Structure 1
Amino acid sequence: MSGSDGGWVALFSGGKESSWALYRALEAGHDVRRLAIVHPPAGSHRYHAPATSVARLAAQSIGIPVVDVGIPITDVEPPNVAREADHDSSAERDTEIEPLESALRTLDAEFDDGLGGVVAGTVESEHQADRLRSMCDLLGCDFFAPLWQADPRELAETMIDGGLEILVVEVTAPGFDESWLGRRLDRDALADLDDLHREYGVHLLGEGGEFETIVTDGPHMSRPITLEFEREWSGTWGRVRITDARLQPPASDEA
């Protein structure tokens, strides 16, 4: 392993935290060469399936190749390699960490100068951060978590003001209604989230799983993503079903 001088890998879901962490890593000069998209088992309800296709388009717009990693337990924002903080058996580590670790070892061998580090959009989960940091220590590479322990409101405002186009694609908490599906997360939406936080305890970033997002444009992307979708609403829970997703043509093609 080569430390920070080698190639970097960013855990990437296409959602707001992983997208902003990637942008921060690129801004910091890290040589990010792969985006690791983490997949759950078939039928998992802890991962928003349409986000995978959007994440691939985002990767194309960013210009960084994707590596696919399949693990049993994951979450959209960011890939969650742990189940519960009080579960830390070696068997759990094998089933949840090993596939990601194996993929990173493969990339370490592929990169001429080895694996330099891993980028993650972890914000509040101590257990998740500890597991990822321990994995990086084992691999002999650096760990970069630029959003770690950021103030939720300040981070949301920074991502919005920084140019991320963020869409809400799933809601599963009291206070939300169908109008949130496909809604842009802007200053007005953030004000409404403040109200939901006060009344229902909704986390401003959805860290408790209250809502999920995808990013369709940002300062790290060369072309925005255009989406067409339908809303699926059950009365207490809803999600966006993406019917079409494509990159907008380059500006020169529109002239």
Structure 2
Amino acid sequence: MAAAQGDPRPPVLLSWSGGKDSAWTLHRLRSLGDVEVAALLTTVTEGYERASMQGVRREVLHAQADAAGLPLLEARIPRECDNATYEAAFAAALEHARGRWPGLDRIAFGDLFLADIRAWREALCARLGWSALFPLFGADTAALARAMIAAGMRTHLCCVDTQQLDAGFAGRAYDTALLDALPPQVDPCGENGEFHTCVEAGPMFSRALSLRRGETVLRDGRFAYTDFLAPE
């Protein structure tokens, strides 16, 4: 749930993609109990109305946040977005969050082992007067993947980079059978961008979402996106 007034634990914002790593980061933060997650922050591409990389529908993102018992804040970016535009939208969203939760100056990310991405996030946050947290960083991704599944997380591959993984994996359930079928060069958590996921159940949610699977399309000649729709 959102941070209660007077809670002695420092509030933290969580970067939210709708996928397994951000969802597991929420679970980890709540399990550790040394901070209170105040809200989720997602980046939405205007016009598409989807999470910018994963392609998760905006209404699914809000359904996930509702199941997690947290408000969802949006950093909105245009379809053709350069880095400066993204950073401005991110900064505006952080400023809005700080206005709602006084003392909020930390944001957590679900990155696992990409040091360059971590360094970029840390530098950006520092320029904005924020601290970046990485609760999962350095985890063994093979063990982490199986821990997520064993804990009851239910998620599907919603985007596959067909230059790294066969398009036939798009839409598949993220389960032990899928892990066993992944080529050896593919990271079990897709940390190198091989795939992205959309979560519908897990210990971070109060209830399962029962998402409906839609069509799979190839975009930019490379990315196979499988659509998942919010419950009716």
TM-score band, normalised by shorter chain: 0.7 to 0.9
Q: d(CA) in 2 for partners of 1:46 and 1:141? A: 22
- For residues 89-108 of structure 1, what are the structure 2 equivalents within 5 Å? 92=83, 94-108=84-98
Q: Are positions 1:122 and 2:134 aligned together?
A: no
- Structure 2: runs of 5+ lacking an equivalent: 1-7
| Structure 1 pair 6–140 and aligned structure 2 pair: CA distance change class (3 A) | farther
- Structure 1: runs of 5+ lacking an equivalent: 75-80, 84-91, 248-255
Q: Which residue of 1 aligns with 2:62?
A: 56
Candidates 134, 153, 163, aligned match of 2:123: 134
Q: TM-score w.r.t. structure 1 length?
A: 0.74
Judging by fraction of residues, say which structure has more helix: 1
Q: CA RMSD in A?
A: 3.0
Q: d(CA) in 2 for partners of 1:236 and 1:110? A: 40
Paired residues, number: 220
Deviation at 1:236, TM superposition (A): 7.3
Do the aligned residues in 2 keep the contact of 1:5 with 1:116 (CA within 8 Å)?
A: no
Q: d(CA) in 2 for partners of 1:171 and 1:140? A: 35
Candidates 24, 32, 35, aligned match of 1:28: 32
Deviation at 1:11, TM superposition (A): 0.3
Candidates 206, 209, 216, aligned match of 1:232: 216
Larger radius of gyration between Structure 1 and Structure 2: 1
Deviation at 1:5, TM superposition (A): 4.8
Identity of aligned residues (%): 25
Q: TM-score w.r.t. structure 2 length?
A: 0.81
Q: d(CA) in 2 for partners of 1:108 and 1:31? A: 14
Deviation at 1:151, TM superposition (A): 1.7
Which amino acid counterpart does residue 30 of structure 2 have in structure 1? L
Q: d(CA) in 1 for partners of 2:13 and 2:104? A: 8
Q: d(CA) in 2 for partners of 1:8 and 1:46? A: 22
Candidates 143, 146, 153, aligned match of 1:154: 143
Which amino acid counterpart does residue 108 of structure 2 have in structure 1? V
Do the aligned residues in 2 keep the contact of 1:73 with 1:96 (CA within 8 Å)?
A: no
